[in-house]
Amino acid sequence: MTSFPIAKTDGIPLGKMIGVQIDGEKILVANVGGEYYAMRAICNHMGGPLDKGKLEDNVVTCPLHGSKWDVKTGNLVKFVRQLPPEPVFKVTVVGDQIFVEK
Ligand code: FES
């Protein structure tokens, strides 16, 4: 497990998310109520870029076909059919630096 520095805390404002490439994988990091959460950013339906979707509270909506995912757990919240969960990653903050463990 390695800690990757991905952004400063002021780089991800409240209610926003960013997409980052970590170790060859696209990951989104979201600020939900002042806490940061990291989840794989490639929708496992048909590869939609979840980091380009819409974030409302802890739920991100895929921009391609509208599946909804909980960025805290990686679980599917709503879609026309069941999909497996997305991997989530531990996030730590040291000072004003956000790290994702992978
Ligand atoms: S690719 Fe995300 S819902 Fe289809």
Pocket of ligand 1 from Cβ distances under 6 Å: 43, 45-48, 62, 64-67
Read off the amino acid at residue 2.
T
CA dist., res. 84 & res. 14, Å (int): 28
Reported pTM: 0.96
Residue 80 is predicted with a pLDDT of 97
Instruction: Looking at the CA of residue 47, tell me the nearest atom of ligand 1.
Output: 1
Residue 86 is predicted with a pLDDT of 98
Cβ neighbours, 10 Å, residue 58: 16
Counting ligand 1 atoms within 8 A of each CB, the residue from 39, 62, 78, 80 with the most, and so the one to mutate, is 62
Residue 45 is predicted with a pLDDT of 98
Read off the amino acid at residue 22.
I
Ligand 1 centroid to 43 CA: how many Å? 6
Q: pLDDT tens digits, residue range 30-83?
A: 999 999 999 999 999 999 999 999 999 999 999 999 999 999 999 999 999 999
List the domains of the chain with CATH numbers. 3-101 (2.102.10.10)
Q: DSSP characters for 20-87?
A: EEETTEEEEEEEETTEEEEEE-B-TTT--BGGGSEEETTEEE-TTT--EEETTT--EEE-SS--PPPP
